[in-house]
Amino acid sequence: MDKFVIRGGEPLLGTVRVSGAKNAALPCMAAALLTDQPVILENIPQVRDIQTTRNLLAAMGAEVELGYGRAQHRTTIHCATLAAPEASYELVKTMRASTLVLGPLVARCGHARVSLPGGCAIGARPIDLHIKGLERLGTKITQEHGYVEASTDRLKGAEIVFDKITVTGTEDLLMAATLADGETILQNCAREPEVADLADLLNKMGAKITGAGTPTIRVKGVSKLRGAKHRIIPDRIEAGTYIIAGAMTGGDLNIAGCDPSHLNALLSKLHEVGVKTKSSADSVRVMGDNPFTAADMSTEEHPGFPTDCQAQFMALATQAEGTSIITENIFENRFMHAQELVRMGANIKIEGRRAVVRGKTPLSAAAVLASDLRASASLVLAALVADGETIIDRVYHIDRGYEHIEEKLKGVGAQIRRIGEMFPKKAAAVK
């Protein structure tokens, strides 16, 4: 398993370019299941979850071209026929977002067999709201042997109120509703920019969606959808991660190709901490090594502070004077990074959904373990300011959602390199 070796102490100087948003690309790729025409998506990030989705769609019978040629980052997905409308446990267990194929498969094929995702490091992550919504649209659903079996003669529009705000739940039901008979009204929807980006694609495909990005989305069902070409929005979480990296290292870093309007809650909290930034239409510049002061933060659904930047904010909080109380309201177990930060010298106490961070504490290099995608990012940030050389193991977590992170960081002065097994396992003794 690959590791990162990072020597801390270098201020990040220069420009990093943000890639396309993984969490917009995944539902947009699933949307290609809704039509027998080709769908072309540009600005696709070169990350593992995209490859996993490609494999998932190909296993169903889709033709998927995925090219990262010169600044191409494009995929063409053609689901002319779908021989096997199912998502196996082998694939779903590696990426929970595979459940995004459930709604499109039921809408396109009238049936689907999708493995239940099972838990993951950050929480139980059930899909009961996806299932309840599909049943409201007229789908018969059974669950056995760890799989969801869904079938319908024809989806019928309905009024659906989500008990909880769910991002992929909103996306799953939005896709299913595009081919339902009549109008569907989805209420208490997720308002993340990725939901609006998916709706943009679906409307280019001929869907009739209004209200995406607000709590209430209306969908007038149509009989068929066509192919389309769409450019994925920039990744706001990747952008936020690099903004915090520039702040923590006291550098002067320009985060280019992002959409600052997706980052309001994060930027406002960083300003409260004392981070200086300047935004243009498509970039954020973070400057200077001014001292940071502690600030409390609670994760909320968009447009609140994103849970996907909570771990990164915690790393920053260890470098702020005073006590920061961080409350994780979205997931029940999203503090795995805390203990690893403590091993690097941070002072963090976990009390249920709250983490109490007392700073400023100098961080020292250590051998640490990545546990999930955003926890890994938090450890990279800490390593960039730690004294000495930090080794981060299991960086395959970070490869799921950050395109070429070591190249991007090296390009702005970070001392980071990727290595294979530190001590290759001895070949099994020949008996």
Residues that bind ligand EPZ in the complex, under the rule CB under 6 A: 23, 26, 96-97, 123-130, 164, 166-169, 190, 307-308, 330-331, 373-374, 401
User: Cβ of residue 194: shortest distance to ligand EPZ, in angstroms?
Assistant: 6
Nearer to ligand EPZ, 10 or 49 (CB): 49
- State the minimum distance, in angstroms, from the CB of residue 22 to ligand EPZ: 6
* Residue whose token pair is 């546990």: 371
Q: Phi/psi at 177 (nearest 5 deg)?
A: -65, -20
Q: Are 391 and 422 in contact (CB under 8 A)?
A: yes
Q: Given phi > 0 = left and psi -120 to 50 = alpha, else beta, which region is 24?
A: alpha
- What b/e string do you get for 326-348 counting C-beta neighbours within 10 Å, with b at 16 or more? bbbebbebbbbbbebbbbbbbeb
Nearest distance, CB of residue 162 and ligand EPZ, angstroms: 8
Please, what is the minimum distance in Å from the beta carbon of residue 329 to ligand EPZ?
A: 9
Q: What is the DSSP letter of 81?
A: -
Q: How far is the CB of 100 from ligand EPZ (least distance, A)?
A: 7
Q: Is the peptide bond before 306 cis (omega within 30 degrees of 0)?
A: no
Least distance CB 415 / ligand EPZ (angstroms):
26
Rg (CA), the chain: 22
Asked whether the CA dihedral 277, 278, 283, 288 is positive or negative, the reply is negative
CA distance 431 to 429: 6
Terminal alpha carbon distance of the chain: 26
Q: What is the 3-state composition of the chain as percent helix, strand, coil, each rounded to the nearest 5?
A: 35, 30, 40
Burial class (CB in 10 A: 0-12, 13-18, 19+), 171: buried
- Residue nearer to ligand EPZ on the CB measure, 26 or 384: 26
Note if 189 is an active site residue.
no
From the list 28, 79, 109, 120, the catalytic residue is 120
Put the strands of the sheet holding 140-144 in their side by side order: 86-87, 111-115, 147-151, 140-144
Query: Which are the catalytic amino acids?
Result: 120
